[in-house]
Structure 1
Amino acid sequence: MDFTITTTSALPFDATVTAVRDALADQGFGVLTEIDIAATLHTKIGETVPPQLILGACNPQLAHRALQSEPR
């Protein structure tokens, strides 16, 4: 079972991250959290993996509307 949504970018990693942040901002989303998976795994268990980030994005207007219709 696959739980991911993927796309491929021809840009280098750092440029891709910038492009994603810009695209999110264009749609009214801000990045509230950032988890650097590669750095965390290296620090915690000494493993080296390719660069990977989890960006926790939020659109305040959409979040407010969602909470109004379902507060739980």
Structure 2
Amino acid sequence: MAGVAKRVQRHRERLRAAGLKPVQIWIPDPAQPGFAEECRRQSQLIAKSAEEDEILDFIEAASDHRGWRE
């Protein structure tokens, strides 16, 4: 296992040398019960919102569509 640990350490050192740093984020687990229902609930709130167009414009602007088919 020491070989793997050394390889990972070297890889991380190269990333840091390239100006990157590790970041840990926590996101909702789509496998959890209720995830789809919560997505639906939030989507319905947006659809009923007076700011729907502004919200959708923000999502569109923040999305990276490079490589997507249209």
TM-score normalised per structure 1: 0.31
Q: Report the structure, 1 or 2, having the larger strand content.
A: 1
Select the structure with the greater relative contact order (CA < 8 A; seq sep ≥ 6).
1
Higher alpha-carbon Rg? 2
